[in-house]
């Protein structure tokens, strides 16, 4: 019998490790339920949720190189918040944040003086950068000659 992704099976916990639990399935097949697939809550120790020999329902979530990846949490009902299932919770943007669909007005055109000031500022910062790197180079060269 070939197992397909999404299939739900009954199995028995064979062994528990720090990274998950091995489940024995029908026809002597074994699959792994990773620690992240044990429960909908944070799981630090698999022993808190499962015991060896326990019967569990699992869902096949993947098959890789003959290995079965299983999940228990995908069969559980997700916890609800304030009586609303977690999939139905709408997250609305805060009122203080501007809407992404609202167009922003184009910036006012810059005058000739503003354009000149911006160009002069860019030139001065580039010039200062070049001069400082040149000074570092020449200082290094003169210091090495004094030895």
Q: What integer best gives the mean pLDDT of the chain? A: 81
Per-residue pLDDT of 43-91, as tens digits, reads: 889 999 899 999 999 999 988 888 889 999 988 877 666 655 555 544 4
Contact criterion met (CB below 8 Å) for 23 and 33: yes
User: Could you confirm whether domain 8-77 is CATH 2.40.50.140?
Assistant: yes
d(CA 78, CA 40): 7
9: nearest Cα among 27, 19, 99: 27
d(CA 24, CA 55): 10
Look at residue 41 and give its three-state secondary structure. coil
pLDDT band at 104 (very low <50, low <70, confident <90, very high): confident
d(CA 41, CA 69): 19
Can you give the pLDDT at residue 89?
A: 47
For the record, the structure tokens of 27 come out as: 């026809």
Q: What is the DSSP letter of 130?
A: H
Neighbouring C-beta atoms of residue 70, cutoff 10 Å: 26
Can you give the pLDDT at residue 101?
A: 65
Residue spans of the domains in the chain: they are 8-77, 110-147
């Amino acid at each position: 019998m070939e197992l397909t992704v999404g299939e739900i099976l009954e199995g028995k916990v064979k062994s528990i490790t720090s990274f998950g639990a091995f489940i024995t399935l029908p026809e002597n097949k074994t699959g792994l339920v990773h620690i992240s697939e044990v429960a909908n809550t944070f799981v630090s120790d698999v022993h808190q949720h499962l015991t060896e020999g326990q019967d569990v329902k699992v869902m096949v979530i993947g098959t890789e190189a003959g290995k079965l990846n299983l999940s228990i949490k995908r069969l559980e009902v997700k916890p609800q918040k304030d009586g609303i299932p977690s999939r139905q919770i709408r997250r609305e943007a805060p009122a203080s944040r501007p809407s992404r669909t609202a167009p922003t007005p184009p910036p006012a055109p810059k005058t000739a003086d503003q354009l000149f000031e911006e160009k002069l500022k860019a030139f001065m910062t580039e010039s200062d950068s070049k001069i400082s790197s040149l000074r570092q180079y020449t200082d290094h060269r003169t210091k090495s000659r004094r030895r």
